[in-house]
Amino acid sequence: MSSNIPYKTYLSEGEVPCEWYNVRADMKKKPAPLLVPSTLKPCTPKDLAPVFCDDLVRQELDDETAFFPIPAEICDFYRMFRPSPLIRAYFLEKALGTPAKIYYKFEGNNTSGSHKLNSAVAQAYYAKAQGLKGVTTETGAGQWGTALSMACAFFGLDCRVFMVKCSYEQKPFRREVMRTYGASVTPSPSMTTQIGEKINREHPGTTGSLGCAISEAVEAAVSNPGYRYVLGSVLNQVLLHQSIIGLEAQAAFRKLGEKPDVIIGCAGGGSNLGGLIAPFMGEKLRGESDYRFIAVEPASCPSLTRGRYAYDYCDTGRICPLAKMYTLGADFIPSASHAGGLRYHGMSPVLSELYDQGLMEARSVRQTDVFAAAQYFARTEGILPAPESSHAIRAAIDEAIKCRENGEAKTILFGLTGTGYFDMTAYQAFNDHVMGDYVPADEELEASFAKLPEVPAT
């Protein structure tokens, strides 16, 4: 290792991207449209206006515009924690004895601790610009709620978070971070919405799920004047905002005079992976360069690797539009794994379509293998990774080991989406050797697929 090689690559002023990139513009076959559940017709701006802010509806439905300028107020906010560093993992390479070069784009360098702030600030900005009073949302593990509460505090917006009840009880510190930024946090299912009351009545004592909290947050938005709903992943608009990760990575690689061969990210709803790969996928779609892309998901919630590509509900209450995506079924409740951010039943329609076209690979990994990688990474590179991010670390290490076995000096890039300080009970379970590896049986998935909605092919 030579000391004149930059360990961290930051961009200088003129190299920082000032536009988001919309990969849909370069896709010949576009992702399938969202459908109105009652009519099964494609959603129009009018259908989505009661739920989302107007500018975000435009971004959601726009499959043609390649670049969206980032408003100055959002750029100013980004400057507080961006550009995020692209880091060469020299110590990990050395420990593995691999000829591969390993880079990671680190998004954990802000108080919310993850990439979710990139989209939270954009969504809060557009809500404010429209003159709204506030936004509602759901949060599972708490990263999204934390990011959104920071963004809302910055723009002076009210923030109402429905937090999955088991997380609300198990992660009191996340809750207090949100309240410190001024958000109100309600355990879901609550008695403050009709859908929450119904779920509580039908399933007494339930500890909630993400799909159920989404239904509550949407209901709270459409029934309170001056409020809209915001979502931290899955949607096209969120992938658009997260493209800042990939654009910075692309600029940093250009600066280094290098190119990644393999790009890896963990996939829950698909926003960090979709954002990281977007500009590189654009090059691939336009035939300019070739890359391998790998989505890594938990074996406990394997939507890409074992799901169906079909129209499905996005929420348990079935009030949101239908999306065509790789899904395990809206009623599928994944086991209580420690990667809360990867427990959504479906996958971004953009990534689903790219995967279906064979432009991206996917693999699933088991929880204990993920934590072994997390621990190895913490000990070699120093950063204590989030359990979600550690799925990408697992795959990056496995690829680097393959390079060692084959004597190939590939360049690997992975997304390190966040830090794991709020996940120490998970690390404790791993350290105490009591962590399990739940993998759903085929019958369990089949039972869930049987409940997928019937949508005639268009």
To ligand PLP, the closest distance from the beta carbon of 149 in angstroms equals: 14
- Nearer to ligand PLP (CB atom), residue 269 or residue 317: 269
The least distance separating ligand PLP from the CB of residue 368, rounded to whole angstroms, comes to 19
* Smallest distance from ligand PLP to CB 78, Å: 18
Q: Please, which residue, 321 or 387, has the CB nearer to ligand PLP?
A: 387
d(CA 359, CA 269): 18
120 binds ligand PLP (CB under 6 A): no
Q: What is the rounded distance in angstroms from the CA atom of residue 43 to the CA atom of residue 29?
A: 18
Residues numbered 225 to 244 that lie near ligand PLP (CB under 6 A) are: 233
Residues in the chain, how many?
A: 458
Least Cβ distance, residue 354 to ligand PLP (angstroms): 14
Binding to ligand PLP in span 289-348, by CB under 6 A: 341-342
Question: Could you give the string, one character per residue 85-114, with x where binding to ligand PLP holds by CB under 6 A and - elsewhere?
Answer: -----------------------------x
Cα angle, residue 383 at apex, residues 381 and 388 outer, rounded to 5°: 115
Distance separating alpha carbons of residues 49 and 138, to the nearest angstrom: 19
Q: Which is nearer to ligand PLP, 268 or 302 (CB)?
A: 268
Contact residue for ligand PLP among 61, 266, 370, 395 (CB under 6 A): 266
Of 196, 269, 346, 349, which lies in the binding site for ligand PLP, with binding defined by CB under 6 A? 269
Total of residues contacting ligand PLP (CB under 6 A): 18
The number of angstroms, rounded, from the C-alpha of 355 to the middle of its chain's C-alpha atoms is 16
Q: Name the strand (E) or helix (H) holding 17.
A: none
Query: CB 217 → ligand PLP: shortest distance, Å?
Result: 16
Name which position in 134, 145, 246, 270 contacts ligand PLP (CB under 6 A).
Answer: 270
The one segment of 263-271, 355-363, 374-382, 426-434 that binds ligand PLP by CB under 6 A: 263-271
Nearer Cβ to ligand PLP (101/175) = 175
Cα–Cα distance measured from residue 299 to residue 292, given in angstroms and rounded to the nearest whole number: 21
Q: Judge whether 165 and 153 are in contact, CB under 8 Å.
A: no
Cα separation of 375 and 393, whole Å?
10
For ligand PLP, the binding residue among 417, 422, 430, 448 (CB under 6 A) is: 417
Bond into 83 cis (ω within 30) = yes
CA atoms within a 13 Å half-sphere pointing along the CA-CB vector of 59: 25
* Stretch 134-173 residues interacting with ligand PLP (CB under 6 A): 143
Using the rule CB under 6 A, which residue among 252, 278, 386, 393 binds ligand PLP? 386
Q: Does 268 bind ligand PLP (CB under 6 A)?
A: yes
Neighbouring-strand partners of residue 164: 188
186 C-beta neighbours (distance < 10 Å), count: 23
Element holding 122 (H helix, E strand)? helix 117-129
Q: Which helix (H) or strand (E) holds 293?
A: strand 292-298
Q: Which of 55, 388, 399, 423 binds ligand PLP (CB under 6 A)?
A: 388
Which of residues 85 and 418 has its CB atom nearest to ligand PLP in the complex? 418
Nearer to ligand PLP, 48 or 370 (CB): 370
Residue number, 271 or 411, with CB nearest to ligand PLP: 271
**Identity of the residue, 234 or 252, whose beta carbon is nearer to ligand PLP in the bound complex:** 234
Q: Which is nearer to ligand PLP, 134 or 341 (CB)?
A: 341
**Least Å distance between CB 380 and ligand PLP?**
19
Q: Which residues make up the interface to ligand PLP (CB under 6 A)? A: 114, 116, 143, 233, 266-272, 341-342, 386, 388-389, 417-418
